[in-house]
């Protein structure tokens, strides 16, 4: 399946993307993770992206789209993928649609993970990640940057929800609750897009 996970920072996209991708047997592709790996590795791409990320702004579409196209061209993504954190603007969504179309493909499903904003701020402010073997706060999880990222989400990414709804691809799921509960909701939603539970007995 070709799936996009949509939802604000802190909705749990990364966590669910890993689990769902495992069940689908397709790679989870997180643009945030790819950018962070490039920042740590001090690559050209990382240097280009870093200032935007630290400020909580989006990396320009041009840079991001080129990176995703390269990633989707790799062998493991040929049969399906789960995108986490991309697209984040209507322009990115249009370019994704066009490049899939060139390959004769389209998305099967866009899952929007819905969480209210108070809960998001709570989750992001308390989030810790492993950096070089130690638990640390991500630079862009500082309270003032969190607020800015939520504003960027509202302004630039939230409109994608209506856009994908018009395309007939959108399903919303409640992303509050235990990780396993949210996974079950997601798998049921994917079943509704694809006809059967993609991890069920008829999978494949
Ligand atoms: P979160 O969903 O928690 O905000 P991500 O790990 O998805 O975090 O992204 C972290 C940062 O990486 C973003 O704030 C942004 O600067 C950059 N980024 C990730 N994906 C994109 C994208 N599709 N377009 C532009 N910038 C992106």
- Among protein residues, the one with the nearest Cα to ligand 1's atom 5 is 32
Residue 8 confidence (pLDDT) above 90 = yes
Q: Could you tell me the distance, in angstroms and rounded to a whole number, from the CA of residue 196 to the centre of ligand 1?
A: 31
Q: With cut-offs at 50, 70 and 90, classify the pLDDT of residue 200.
A: low
Q: What tokens does 48 get?
A: 């280009």
- pLDDT in the model for residue 109: 97
A 10 A CB-CB count for 71 gives: 18
What residue ranges define each of the domains in the chain, with the CATH number in brackets?
2-115+170-194 (3.40.50.300)
Phi and psi angles of residue 167, each rounded to the nearest 5 degrees, phi first: -75, -5
Catalytic, out of 2, 71, 88, 185: 88
Catalytic residue flag (residue 69): no
Lowest-confidence pick of 42-51, 98-107, 110-119, 125-134: 125-134
Catalytic residue flag (residue 13): yes
Spatial neighbors of 115 by CB under 8 A, at least 6 apart, are 7, 8, 10, 11, 12, 123, 175, 176
CA separation (Å) from 108 to 3, 4, 85, 89, 194?
6, 9, 17, 19, 7
The predicted-structure confidence for 153-168, as pLDDT tens digits, reads as follows: 999 999 999 999 999 9
**Average of per-residue pLDDT across 53-68:** 96
- pLDDT in the model for residue 143: 83
Cα–Cα distance between 202 and 188 in angstroms, integer?
14
Residue 53 confidence (pLDDT) above 70 = yes
A 10 A CB-CB count for 125 gives: 13
Q: Is 36 annotated as a binding residue?
A: yes
**Measured from the CB, is residue 95 less than 6 Å from ligand 1?**
no
The predicted-structure confidence for 15-36, as pLDDT tens digits, reads as follows: 999 999 999 999 999 999 999 9
Catalytic residue flag (residue 78): no
Catalytic, out of 2, 13, 71, 185: 13
More confident residue, 87 or 139: 87
Q: Is 127 annotated as a binding residue?
A: yes
């Amino acid at each position: 399946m070709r799936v996009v996970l949509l939802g604000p920072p802190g909705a749990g996209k990364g966590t669910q993307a890993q689990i769902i991708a495992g069940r689908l047997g397709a790679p989870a592709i997180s643009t945030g993770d790819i950018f962070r790996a490039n920042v740590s590795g001090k690559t050209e791409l990382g240097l280009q992206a870093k200032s935007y990320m630290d400020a909580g702004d989006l990396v320009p579409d041009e840079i991001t789209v080129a990176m995703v196209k390269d990633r989707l061209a790799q062998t493991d993504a040929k049969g399906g993928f789960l995108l986490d954190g991309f697209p984040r603007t209507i322009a990115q969504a249009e370019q994704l649609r066009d490049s899939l179309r060139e390959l004769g493909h389209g998305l099967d499903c866009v899952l929007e993970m819905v969480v209210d904003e108070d809960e998001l701020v709570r989750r992001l402010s308390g989030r810790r990640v492993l950096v070089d073997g130690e638990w640390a706060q991500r630079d862009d999880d500082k309270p003032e940057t969190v607020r800015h990222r939520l504003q960027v989400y509202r302004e630039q990414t939230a409109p994608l929800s209506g856009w994908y709804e018009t395309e007939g691809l959108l399903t919303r799921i409640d992303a509050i609750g235990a990780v396993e509960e949210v996974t079950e909701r997601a798998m049921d939603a994917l079943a509704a897009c694809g006809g059967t539970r993609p991890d069920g007995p008829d999978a494949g």
